[in-house]
Structure 1
Amino acid sequence: MKLLSWNVRGLGKPRTVGRLRDFLRDVNPSVVFLIETKLHADVMLKVCKRCGFPNGIEVGSRGRSGDLCLAWRNGCQISLRSFLVRHIDFMVFDDGSGQWWRCTGFYGAPKEQNRRASWNLLRQLNDLPNVPWLIIGDFNELLFSFEKSGGRIRSQRQMDDFREALEDCSLADIGYTGRWYTWEKGHFVETNIRERLDRGVANPGWWSLFPDFTLSHLSHSFSDHCLLLLLTMVQSGPRVQWHFMFEAAWFLEDSCEFEVKRLWTASSGPIPERLRFVGQGLNVWFWRLRASRKVSKLDLTKRLEDLAAMKPSDDSLEETMEIKLALNLEMDKSELYWEQRAHANWL
């Protein structure tokens, strides 16, 4: 199965919701844990349904609604155990292994003075030591000083408290693939700070149940947190067959007007035949466009990952911003493409 965890830092803007829907469509997770959604419960659940997750629970924090949300697709077996403002605890059935295992979506206290209360919560949740258990989310803390670059040095006591809490619960960091940090702020070298705040930790039972898992830090073009994508096993699905139709997203392509004029000029005969010729030509152009767009998006994402692995400089940070803008434009095209298929009155 696939499970996605992400601190979205607010879903109040329609464009952000569209970006979320685009990401969920690309990675196709079965379960999604979202942090800091900043939406009221009824609105957040509507967003989940729009993204293809009809089942879910939303937990509001003190003074705000919608800080945590757990959502899952039809066919996914979920049994809720407990939830508060800092966690959602549940059991999930894995089709691949044929077993139930425990998962906790976690959000550590952002303020340092409340961090110990978060670690005590972990100890309280440790009531089923013999059940495979994974905790995933934004812990807002480091395990080691090398997990931070820039800014003030992290207190050793803070990191020791976090490690002690994990040891008391027999939990260990499960590692990752991709960029080493999961949170970043500052667009100049002097102000740039990078930290690994988001992670997954698990007990020995979970490690034994899923020896071939992967946890990836996914690249992004918005939010200052990376997405965490957990795969307990490799999955693949059939591709959806595409049928010709005029795409509203083509208007975002600079070559669209030129292509229509070129095809119309090259056509001959009665108008219906000329229209059929233009349609067939646009069909070929569309497939080439989709192929080049996919390659372009992959190249941009790969370059974003390369820049993330480099030591920050003014040039690299400037290029990072340019790539994020280019990725946002590609997502605009993809969003318009899927809006047309959903017959949604998005305006």
Structure 2
Amino acid sequence: MKHICWNVRGLGNPRAIRRLRHLIKQHNPQFIFLMETKLSKQRMSKARRSCGFIYGIDVDAEGSRGGLCLAWKPSMDINLKSFSKWHIDVMVKEDSSQTEWRFTGFYGTPYSRDQKQVWELLKSLSQNGTGPWLVAGDFNEIMYSFEKKGEFRGIKDEWNFSEKHWQNASCLILDFREGNLLETNIREQLDRGVANDEWISLFPLGWVQHLPFSTSDHFPLVINTARVNPYSRHLRFYFEAW
């Protein structure tokens, strides 16, 4: 099954809603995680219903900033664990599986004053339970300098992010280091999906891919939890470990 994560940068106008509907029609995701909706819970509920998603968890924007939404189709069984203005943490069961797995939609703060609090949140989430776990969303950080292309605007200290922050989230750091993070390069690699070994074992044919959708730093992520390879007669494609 396919799922989508996207920093939509606001859904307050008809054009943005049309873009979202087009993406949903093109990929038919079973759930979507949206960041920076910039809408109240009531307006976001109306917007997602207009896109065909009756079920959802909506988090209010703060004025013109933030706002999260996790919406899903009836074929999904979603149980909420926790949420904040920076995350939505749920347990997921797909109709084709008896095994639950954990999904955390994560929105890293773009403001330096809140960064310590956000990474402490991710650390606490990593200590809350075991099992197959996927974290995906807009981390608002780059991991390495090669994840940035184009005009130089100042690179954050590479060691500081990879060692200091991700050491706190120890269940995730190896996925960055060892290539379990499946991604492509964009101007700044802000959006990504990171899975632990148990999730990768549960979905050995699963993948995470960026869609070339806009000119911003935020490209939609498509997550595929495929269990059966429709092209089994061909060798499996492996992403290069950057």
The normalised TM-score by structure 2 is 0.84
CA contact (8 A) 2:10 2:37 kept: yes
* Inter-CA distance 124–219: structure 2 relative to 1 (3 Å threshold): same
CA contact (8 A) 1:59 1:65 kept: no
User: 1:162 is matched with which residue: 140, 161, 165?
Assistant: 165
Mapping for residues 219-258 of structure 1, pairs under 5 Å: 219-221=212-214, 224-233=217-226
Partner SS, residue 131 of structure 2 = coil
CA contact (8 A) 2:82 2:90 kept: yes
One-letter code of the match for 2:166?
R
* Inter-CA distance 226–148: structure 2 relative to 1 (3 Å threshold): same
Q: Quick check: 82-91 or 54-63, which moved more?
A: 54-63
Which residues of structure 1 form unaligned runs of 5+?
A: 182-193, 236-347
How far apart, CA to CA, are the structure 2 residues paired with 1:171 and 1:132?
Answer: 15
Q: Which residue number in structure 1 is paired with residue 175 of structure 2?
A: 172
1:57 aligns with 2:60: no
How far apart, CA to CA, are the structure 1 residues paired with 2:116 and 2:197?
Answer: 24
Q: Which residue number in structure 2 is paired with residue 113 of structure 1?
A: 113
CA contact (8 A) 1:171 1:202 kept: no
After superposition, give the CA deviation of every residue in 1:145-169 in whole Å (9 maximum; x if it has no partner).
2211232222232343333233255
How far apart, CA to CA, are the structure 1 residues paired with 2:157 and 2:86?
Answer: 23
1:175: Cα distance to partner? 2.8
How far apart, CA to CA, are the structure 1 residues paired with 2:203 and 2:134?
Answer: 11
How far apart, CA to CA, are the structure 1 residues paired with 2:46 and 2:20?
Answer: 13
Partner SS, residue 93 of structure 2 = strand
One-letter code of the match for 1:164?
Q
* Inter-CA distance 163–124: structure 2 relative to 1 (3 Å threshold): closer
How far apart, CA to CA, are the structure 2 residues paired with 1:74 and 1:118?
Answer: 31
Q: Which residue number in structure 2 is paired with residue 35 of structure 1?
A: 35
Which of structure 1's runs of 4+ aligned residues deviate more than 3 A? 61-66, 168-171, 221-224
1:141: Cα distance to partner? 0.8
One-letter code of the match for 2:142?
L
How far apart, CA to CA, are the structure 2 residues paired with 1:129 and 1:203?
Answer: 13
How far apart, CA to CA, are the structure 2 residues paired with 1:147 and 1:223?
Answer: 14
CA contact (8 A) 2:61 2:67 kept: yes
Partner SS, residue 200 of structure 1 = strand
1:123: Cα distance to partner? 1.1
* Inter-CA distance 30–136: structure 2 relative to 1 (3 Å threshold): same
Larger radius of gyration: 1
After superposition, give the CA deviation of every residue in 1:243-288 in whole Å (9 maximum; x if it has no partner).
xxxxxxxxxxxxxxxxxxxxxxxxxxxxxxxxxxxxxxxxxxxxxx
CA contact (8 A) 1:116 1:161 kept: no
Q: Which residue number in structure 2 is paired with residue 99 of structure 1?
A: 99
Q: Quick check: 36-45 or 213-222, which moved more?
A: 213-222
**Cα RMSD, aligned residues only:** 2.2
CA contact (8 A) 1:8 1:223 kept: no
CA contact (8 A) 1:68 1:85 kept: yes
CA contact (8 A) 1:123 1:168 kept: no
Partner SS, residue 100 of structure 2 = strand
CA contact (8 A) 2:211 2:221 kept: yes
Larger helix proportion of the pair: 1
Q: Which residue number in structure 2 is paired with residue 6 of structure 1?
A: 6
How far apart, CA to CA, are the structure 1 residues paired with 2:172 and 2:11?
Answer: 33
Partner SS, residue 3 of structure 2 = strand
Partner SS, residue 169 of structure 2 = helix
Which residues of structure 2 form unaligned runs of 5+?
A: 229-242
One-letter code of the match for 1:165?
N
Partner SS, residue 103 of structure 1 = strand
* Inter-CA distance 131–227: structure 2 relative to 1 (3 Å threshold): same
Partner SS, residue 79 of structure 2 = strand
How far apart, CA to CA, are the structure 2 residues paired with 1:46 and 1:61?
Answer: 15
Partner SS, residue 204 of structure 2 = coil
1:66: Cα distance to partner? 6.3
How far apart, CA to CA, are the structure 2 residues paired with 1:30 and 1:77?
Answer: 11
1:42: Cα distance to partner? 1.1
CA contact (8 A) 2:39 2:61 kept: no
1:112: Cα distance to partner? 2.3
Q: How many residues are aligned here?
A: 223
Q: Which residue number in structure 1 is paired with residue 155 of structure 2?
A: 153
